[in-house]
Amino acid sequence: MRSNYLLLLGVVLSAGTVFAADDLTEAQANDIIQKFAAKETEFSRARENYTYRQSARILDLDQAGNTVGRWEEVSDIIFNSEGRRTEKVVRAPTSSLKNFYLGPEDLEDLRSVQPFVLTTADIPKYLVRYLGKETLDEIPCFVFAVKPKKLEAGKRYFSGQVWVDDRDLQIVKSYGRGVGLQKASDDKQFPKFETYREQIDGKYWFPTYTVANDTLHFAEQDARIRQTVRYEDYKQFKSDVTITFGDAVDDKKDDKKDDKKNEKNAPAAPKKP
């Protein structure tokens, strides 16, 4: 997002954790990286065969934490009668963001960086470093730092940490931000976020919740954002037809009144204009 003067994106900070990094050799850690990347490849292919609803909300907050603007979009990821995977926007009120707006990078982060997947094909693009072990919601996990080796124009990348289930070897949580090349003159800020996954159909760890909550520091002003994204109602699509991904369809609907439901756990991810 950009602020009305610059480009802005929201950030959620997570408490730091100290890891013991001496419980695996480098060779063992590399072996785990290759194995969980293979599982991530399997997960990525499997998710392409599921329908689900994605509900995203980004709030523009004043310094007292009051909502002064918002952006929302609810989309269904579905298959049409020809078996073509497509995104159907079912609700998208007019944006009322005041201190920043969402740019193309924000929307790309929302779609592909925040539900981060690190497949075998992606591994060569990233530096992956073992940090240690941590128990996350009673799940023993390997923790890895992940950052892109180089940035290429027009592409977005994940930079942060991932928690990998030590049994299923799939990512169960990611924490970081979207990064990419930008001009020195650009005043763009991107938020840190946390994405949590849950086991679907007893096999795959699919993203179910992303949260961000941060103050973005633009050249002319600071902007507070809060974001939540929910991925719900996963259902496996069964068909013999070839699956391809299409562009978003459906026009956006009119805005509705500001509802004051519990926003406390709902962070946002924007950029400034």
Q: Across the strands, what pairs with 212?
A: 227
The pLDDT value given to residue 14: 36
**pLDDT at residue 1 in the model:** 61
**Span 26-249 CATH architecture:** Clam (2.50)
Per-residue pLDDT of the chain (273 residues; tens, 9 = 90+): 654 433 333 333 333 343 444 579 999 999 999 999 999 999 999 999 999 999 999 999 998 999 999 999 999 999 988 888 899 999 999 999 999 989 999 999 999 999 999 999 999 999 999 999 999 999 999 999 999 999 999 999 999 999 999 999 999 999 999 999 988 788 899 999 999 999 999 989 999 999 999 989 898 889 999 999 999 999 998 644 343 434 433 433 344 444 444 444 444 444 444
